[in-house]
């Protein structure tokens, strides 16, 4: 994808390669800022190892899994599996961004650092789930094999700017999903673990959000189109997980992640930071994308309000049944 930019003196045609080069200095600045504020942490310190015991298999004293062995709630169990399987596909994510952003210079340093930090998330979540017996270990492994065997291809791999826009929203969406899962899990240990993961995800969001802001200064029309496309067509990277649609519906009802949360806590904060509707100096295509983005957000807010009403009615019915 290319666009003619009026912001660099004589007209220049933007390509992914030129944008990567033009944003390298911003990436280096954001990488240095990230390294100053990010805190290393040890996954093993968040796992209740004393709760662990053998499963059936090589050990004669192995105890079969039963969901009553864990204090994690049903919605917590569902969300934890979805969140972990999403984290499991890290090799595919790394391949996608390394192929797009490159492995050299500041871009490459960030790609590898991000991958190393994300690797902790899958480690600590799996150790917690198995040690606390929060989920069926056999089914978890079967889901992992099925999901990773499919691999992952980003909807935005055709464009560097689309990819930057996507991860700016997706990292925040992941942070919110982890944080709400912790709140709904019923286990303080799980809540603390997911809060630690959410902190990482928030820092990753800030990196990409700031990079996206810099892209608007370079190529506002192209960046506006990328944001419009990503917001309108957004879906979580774990959409290929077996049974994802059913799990997503349960997570929506359980208030882990739903339309209202997506609108208020994921899309709006990034769009407000970018002052997306106040950006001027756009060409015809940029103005069209800006208008379409505003209309989409209005429509999403209306749909979220309908969902809110249905959810409130469901809660009222359940409360009435409990009182009967």
Copy the structure tokens of residue 305: 């309000």
Buried-state track 145-173, b at ≥16 Cβ within 10 A, e below 16: eebbeeebebebeebbbbbbbbbbbbbbb
Residue at token pair 């009222």: 316
How many whole angstroms separate alpha carbon 279 and alpha carbon 298? 18
State the pairing for strand pair 12-13/4-5.
Answer: antiparallel
**Is position 153 annotated in a ligand binding site?**
no
Query: Is 239 marked as a binding-site residue?
Result: no
285 assigned binding-site residue:
no
For 7, 25, 68, the CA distances from 30, given in Å and listed in that order, are: 23, 9, 46
Q: Is 118 annotated as a binding residue?
A: yes
Check whether 150 is labelled as a binding-site residue: no
CA nearest 157: which of 101, 84, 238, 219?
101
Q: What's the angle, vertex CA 278, arms to CA 272 and CA 283, rounded to 5?
A: 125
Q: Is 245 annotated as a binding residue?
A: no
How large is the angle between the packed helices 105-131 and 90-101, nearest 10 degrees? Answer: 170
**CA–CA separation, 101 and 108 (whole Å):** 7
Which residues belong to the annotated binding site for Fe cation?
87, 118, 121, 171, 201, 204
Which residues belong to the annotated binding site?
87, 118, 121, 171, 201, 204
């Amino acid at each position: 994808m290319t666009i003619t930019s009026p912001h660099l003196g004589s007209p220049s045609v933007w390509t992914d390669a030129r944008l990567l080069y033009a944003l390298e200095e911003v990436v280096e600045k954001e990488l240095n800022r990230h390294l100053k504020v990010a805190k290393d942490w040890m996954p093993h310190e968040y796992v209740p190892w004393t709760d662990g015991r053998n499963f059936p298999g090589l050990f004669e004293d192995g105890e079969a899994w039963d969901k009553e062995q864990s204090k994690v709630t049903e919605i917590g169990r569902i969300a934890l599996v979805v969140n972990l399987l999403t984290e499991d596909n890290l090799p595919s994510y790394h391949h996608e961004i390394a192929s797009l952003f490159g492995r050299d210079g500041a871009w490459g340093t960030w790609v590898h650092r991000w991958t190393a930090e994300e690797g902790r998330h899958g480690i600590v979540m799996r150790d917690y789930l198995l040690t606390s017996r929060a989920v069926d270990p056999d089914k978890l492994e079967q889901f992992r094999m099925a999901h990773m065997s499919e691999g992952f291809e980003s909807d935005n791999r055709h464009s560097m700017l689309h990819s930057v826009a996507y991860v700016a929203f997706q990292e925040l969406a992941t942070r919110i999903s982890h944080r709400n899962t912790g709140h709904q899990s019923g286990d303080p240990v799980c809540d603390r673990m997911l809060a630690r993961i959410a902190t990482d995800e928030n820092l990753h969001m800030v990196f990409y959000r700031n990079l996206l802001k810099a892209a608007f200064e370079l190529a506002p029309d192209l960046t506006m189109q990328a944001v419009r496309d990503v917001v309108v067509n957004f879906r979580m990277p774990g959409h290929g997980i077996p049974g994802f649609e059913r799990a997503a519906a349960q997570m929506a009802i359980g208030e882990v992640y739903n339309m209202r949360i997506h609108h208020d806590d994921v899309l709006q904060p990034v769009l407000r930071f970018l002052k997306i509707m106040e950006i001027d100096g756009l060409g015809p295509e940029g103005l069209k994308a800006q208008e379409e983005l505003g209309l989409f957000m209005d429509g999403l807010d209306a749909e979220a309000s309908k969902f809110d009403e249905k959810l409130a009615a469901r809660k009222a019915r359940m409360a009435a049944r409990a009182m009967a």
